[in-house]
Amino acid sequence: MEDGIDTIVLDEELAYVDVVPLRWTTLAMPAEPDIAIAQAEHNLRLLQALAALEDRAPAEKTDENSPHSADLMRLEFKVNLLLDLVGQILAKAQPRPPAIPMRFNAHGAIWRAPDRELRAGESGQLEIWLREALVEPLRIFGRVASVGVDRRVKVEFARVGKPVGDLIEKLAFQRHRRQVAGTRERR
């Protein structure tokens, strides 16, 4: 993974980069169209929930004209803390694969497979747990495009659909923007 504020891309598109639990499950054949449609609807709801959780106003931007803005900020902080704690409890109650560095966008994903050999051309489903507070992972069907000698796996996703693709793109952009802002603040 790259460090610093370099723009992380995958197939010439901005990519979401993080260390997250993920699991690849090999399938005997590509997913049936009905299953793929149901999975896309699940992914859309999951990404909408994530967008709602991530939609936090910066603490330093208070509306001085509102008499209750400080109270609302304290309440929002407590709700976010509660969500994080519930997410940690859920993560312990439902075991997840180990977190590993990876990057993905609406076109595909790249990660280093820690323990098993994958083969180029095999179809499967990638599960990505984006946040502890979300019980379900993002599930995307795809095909292994390549596996390097260093076990770096590149998966090309089957069509994720425009609404899901747009939300993945938004997620990647927001993550990149936060990383850039964090790097600038440390200087």
Q: Flag whether 4 is in a domain.
A: no
First vs last C-alpha separation in the chain? 21
What string of DSSP letters covers 38-95? Answer: HHHHHHHHHHHHHHHHH----TT---TT-TTHHHHHHHHHHHHHHHHHHHHHHHHHS-
CB 103 within 8 A of CB 17: yes
User: Which structural domain range is residue 167 located in?
Assistant: 9-55+67-186
Q: Flag whether 121 is in a domain.
A: yes
Q: Flag whether 3 is in a domain.
A: no
Listed range (25-34, 45-54, 87-96, 144-153) with the worst mean pLDDT: 87-96
Q: Flag whether 22 is in a domain.
A: yes
Q: How deeply is 127 buried, as exposed, middle or buried, from its count of CB atoms within 10 A (0-12, 13-18, 19+)?
A: middle
- Please write the tens of the pLDDT for every residue from 27-46: 988 888 889 899 999 999 99
Q: Flag whether 96 is in a domain.
A: yes
Backbone angles phi, psi at 87, to 5 degrees: -60, -40
Query: Can you tell me the mean pLDDT for 1-23?
Result: 73
Confidence band of 157 (pLDDT split at 50, 70, 90):
very high
Q: What is the DSSP-derived secondary structure letter of residue 120?
A: T
Q: Flag whether 159 is in a domain.
A: yes
- Please write the tens of the pLDDT for every residue from 57-97: 444 455 556 777 777 777 777 777 777 777 677 667 778 89
Q: Which amino acid, one-letter code, is at 176?
A: H
Residue 1 scores a pLDDT above 60: no
Query: How many domains are there within the chain?
Result: 1
Query: Can you tell me the mean pLDDT for 2-11?
Result: 56
